Each structure stands twice: as C-alpha cells, then as structure tokens.
Amino acid sequence: MKYLIVGLGNIGSEYEDTRHNIGFSVLDAFAKASSAVFTSDRLAHVAEVKFKGRTLVLIKPTTFMNLSGKAVNYWLQQEKISPENMLVITDDLALPFGKIRIRPAGSDGGHNGLKDIQAVLGHNNYPRLRFGIGAEFSKGKQSDYVLGKWGEEENKTLPQRIELCCEIIKSFSTAGLQRTMNDFNNR
C-alpha cells in the first residue's frame, strides 16, 4: 500500500516557521522521527518512509503554494497513488490555533494551495488535515498574518500539535480515514 502525504508551504528561508508552512513543518518532523531525508526531485522535496508495511511518499511542493496542484498531480501519477490514499496537510484560518480537522473532501475554504489542487485534479475528493492557525489579524492584514512567524504563546504548544499530526499520518495509513477522523477530530 502506497500513500502520498503532501505538506503545503512555500520554499525559501523567509517562509520557514511561518503559519502558512505548517504542512512543511509537520512533514519535517515526521521525516526526522522516521530518519528519512528529503531530496530535491521534480516539483517537490521528496522523502520515503516505510511504516507497518506501507510506503509513505512525503512531498513538499517546490512550486510555491499557489501552484501546489502541479506537484500533487505529478506525484500521484508518478507513484500510481489514488487520491483517496493522499493526505494534504494545510493551514486553516477558520480554525482556532492548534485545532485539527480531518475531512475526506471539501471546499478550498479560500486557501490558494487547495484551490490549485482542486483545479488541477478536477475535483475536491481527497483527504485533508487542516491545522488551525486562528485569525488574529486586523482587516487587510491576512497575508501578513498567514506569512508571519508563530507567536511566543503558539510556540509553547506547537511541538505537541505537530506531534499529534504525525500520529494522524500514521493512523491514516494504517487504520484508514474514517477511524482516523473518529479518533483525532476532537483532540
């Protein structure tokens, strides 16, 4: 069984440790815990993790957030993985900081990365893990907030929330989407 685990974010040091790059941060932590190393490949930084008889292909698109669909589509085709076996990890302004929501499908919610994936795939029927970043910004400052670094209070609990996301990835690949949703959506 093969799974594609997609962490959304933007490449470049100026985007490291920003709210919008939570997908990259989760995959970095997952790879590190699994002793996997990312290498540059076509349209993404890629790592492979073997877990309980499953192969997890981790990708961090290098196409920038707004063109994530190109990398996602390429790696689904390259690895011959169906969208049901893909999990996209993304930030979400509509959820309070640290809140996790796993869904089998859904709208892009105004998120440009999800919007592009939907446009390229032609549907929105793929699992996603939405990581709440809150909406603590004044009118007209959404971009600054999303691309901003985590605050001092957020940094206190961020490692535990990222660890929870790593557990979700393991559960998704072994127990399946429905059980993972039941086990993790209210934690």
Catalytic residue status for 20? yes
DSSP state letters, 86-108: EEEEEEETTS-TT-EEEESS---
CA 154 from chain center: how many Å?
A: 18
By C-alpha distance, which of 183, 126, 102 is closest to 4? 126
Which residue type occupies 40? S
Helix ranges restricted to H, 44-187 = 68-79, 112-121, 142-146, 152-174, 177-184
How far separated are the first and last CA of the chain, in Å rounded?
27
Q: What is the CA radius of gyration of the chain?
A: 15
3-state helix, strand, coil in the chain (%, to 5): 45, 25, 35
Catalytic residue (one of 20, 45, 111, 123):
20
Q: Would you please indicate which residues are annotated as catalytic (active-site) residues? A: 20
